[in-house]
Structure 1
Amino acid sequence: MRFRTDEQALQDDVAALLAAGDFTDSLVPAALQADRLGVDPRSLAFLAEVVRRGGLDYAARLPEPLPTPEQTALVRPWLAIGAGSDRLARWLDAVAAVLEARHLSGR
């Protein structure tokens, strides 16, 4: 895991990290980017469940996998990486947990 400031992490290309199989280093940047767009952690957890039950292809074809167009634009590349439904669902749950922890800590 790389250590960097929030501003540095915000610049990371989450989809590229996921495509490279770097799920750990992509967690914080994904949570920060989601936070900047006002994504509710429950929305990511719900999307994880959609991926888990319907599969990655199904989730990627949803018109709006998250509530707003901006939030949807954020997750579309994440859904397109083809990492496997179970792995991406677990990762989305982890991003939701990081986001929830940030909210609970007042960040």
Structure 2
Amino acid sequence: MVATIWRFRVQPDRTDAFERAYGPRGDWARLFERAEGYAGTELLKLHGEPATWLTIDRWRSEGDYERAKALLADDYAALDRRCEAYTCDEAWLGLHTVVE
């Protein structure tokens, strides 16, 4: 199992829309569900850091993640453009192995 992790700093007046889009049943999760190997999303609000969230998207394997990126590329780009309005900063924190 692998996970992609992103950090977002969210516009103060856009937190509700951000949570709806990035939560475990949000727009991103529904997009990823179309790909084989997707295993779920977590949305974490960081304590002590104003308006900062982490997303963790789990995949069965790195290969499943890479195939999903290719399969969903156009829809991913469109959703990413729409969701840019919710954030003032985002950072890719990498692809990580999940230790179980």
TM-score by length of 2: 0.29
TM-score by length of 1: 0.28
Higher strand share goes to which structure?
2
**Greater relative CO (CA pairs within 8 A, separation 6+):** 2
Higher helix share goes to which structure?
1
